Amino acid sequence: MRIEVCVGSNCTMMGADAIIVSLENLKETILEKNGIRPDFSLEIEIVRCLGECKNKQSVSPVVIIDGVVHHNASREEIMSVILDAAFECHDHQFETLKDNN
């Protein structure tokens, strides 16, 4: 899974840094969890500016996950997308992951 997080000024002011911290923490712990798909990988790229806010207003922060653009991204939304992709049974594994942190 490839994740691009925009760190342009608008996205940074609207919470991109918190998303990056959550992604880095998740990357450190997710591969150790039982039930993760064997083919799952997590690649995080910090992008200087994706230019989305130049074309549309009120879209920051912007995160792209495997080519799908997420406007007004929240940590919860991004973590949910990743966990849905990583685990066969998302709800159980997400609760387990939350309980272990």
| SS (HEC) of 16-31 | HHHHHHHHHHHHHHHC
- The CATH number that applies at residue 29 is 3.40.30.10
Report the alpha-carbon angle 63-39-64, nearest 5. 10
pTM comes to: 0.81
Q: Domain residues for 76?
A: 2-100
Q: Six-digit token pair at 85?
A: 């992709």
Q: Return the pLDDT at 90.
A: 44
Q: Return the pLDDT at 89.
A: 53
pLDDT tens per residue across all 101 residues of the chain: 999 999 999 999 999 999 999 999 998 888 777 888 888 889 999 999 988 888 888 999 999 999 999 999 999 999 999 999 998 654 444 444 545 44
Q: Return the pLDDT at 10.
A: 93
Q: What is the Rg, in whole angstroms, of the alpha carbon atoms belonging to the chain?
A: 14
Give, to the nearest 10 degrees, the angle between helix 90-100 and helix 75-86. Answer: 120
The total number of structural domains that make up the chain? 1
Q: Return the pLDDT at 68.
A: 96
